[in-house]
Amino acid sequence: MFLKGKVAVITGSTKGIGFGIAKKMHDEGAYVVINSRSEADCKKACKKLGEKRCMFSACDISKREEVKKMMNLVVKKYKRIDILVNNAGIYPFKSFSDLDDETWDKTMAINLNGVYYCAQEALKKMKKGGRIVNISSVAAHIGFSSLVHYCASKGGVEGFTRGLAIELAPKGITVNAVAPGAINVTGKKDAMKNNPLTNSIPLKCFGEPKDIANLVAFLVSDEASYITGECIKVDGGMTIRNP
């Protein structure tokens, strides 16, 4: 429908939101590049999608040289990169009083540095009409106890998105962010129905990976060519109640 023949790199795409995005793009006709640190998980995800329009590259996005190698492998096979979705991220729960430098640095290395490395390397082979979507979080807009480091990293992602959107606009490349709220990544229907967090969500339910995937697929399509520098929340109204 939207993405036939496009080459899309999605980081952290072996499960949850990332796999949901990869599946949606694959269903829409894109060539999908699966990524995570686990080669075994990448192989499983690729097999689920169908290997004819899917390849994988297991790498740690917090390491520049590994990212560079991944992007080079993609270009070697597909000759270009049309779409980058920076989805990979971590959210280790730790109170601020107990927060250590190692946890802080690792969170920033993956959630923020990884976005920077992937975008910079992908852009070397991205032309006019290219699309970058960064997966942020409602944590960039509302605070969460024991996730100060995560909130900070996602706030950085949104600032990065706006700045890069301005810089790339003259090249015809758009950059946007999507901020998920509470998403059911367990794969089990109704698994989150009785979760206390639903009380803070006006729609009274968790979202599903497809809710994020549908928006991302639109943002990377030609139909969204006049949208850039935006962060769109997909949270069932959570941030309406907690602005």
132 beta partners: 84, 175
Which one of 91, 117, 150, 226 is the catalytic residue?
A: 150
Asked whether residue 1 is assigned to any structural domain, the reply reads: no
Strand-pairing partners, residue 135, are 178
Say if 2 falls within a structural domain.
no
Task: Note whether 212 and 186 are within 8 A (CB).
Answer: no
**pLDDT greater than 70 at residue 1:** no
220: in domain: yes
Domain hosting 45: range is: 7-241
pLDDT at 187: 74
pLDDT tier for residue 192 given thresholds of 50, 70 and 90: low
Of the chain, the percentage scoring pLDDT greater than 70 comes to 96
Cβ–Cβ under 8 Å, residues 13 and 36 = yes
Percent of the chain with pLDDT over 90: 91
150 is catalytic: yes
- pLDDT at res. 51: 74
pLDDT in tens, 74-110: 999 999 999 999 999 999 999 999 999 999 999 999 9
Task: Look up tokens 């597909």; give the residue.
Answer: 78
Count of structural domains, the chain: 1
17's tokens: 């939101």
In this predicted structure, what is the pLDDT of residue 189?
67
Residue 65 lies in a domain: yes
Distance between CA atoms of residues 132 and 198, nearest Å: 31
d(CA 126, CA 114): 18
Residue 14 in domain:
yes
Tell me what pLDDT residue 196 has: 85
Q: What is the pLDDT of residue 219?
A: 98
Q: What is the mean pLDDT of the chain?
A: 95
Encoding tokens for residue 19? Answer: 């796999």
Largest Cα–Cα separation, the chain: 50
In a domain, 21, yes or no: yes
pLDDT the model gives residue 201: 93
When pLDDT is averaged across residues 152-163 and rounded to a whole number, the result is: 98
Residue carrying the six token digits 């979507």: 133
Nearest to 132 by CA among 87, 180, 83: 83
To the nearest 10 degrees (0 to 180), the angle between helices 101-108 and 148-168 is 30
CATH number of the domain bearing residue 218: 3.40.50.720
> Angle at CA 89, nearest 5°, toward 43 and 167?
105
Structure tokens at 81: 């990169």
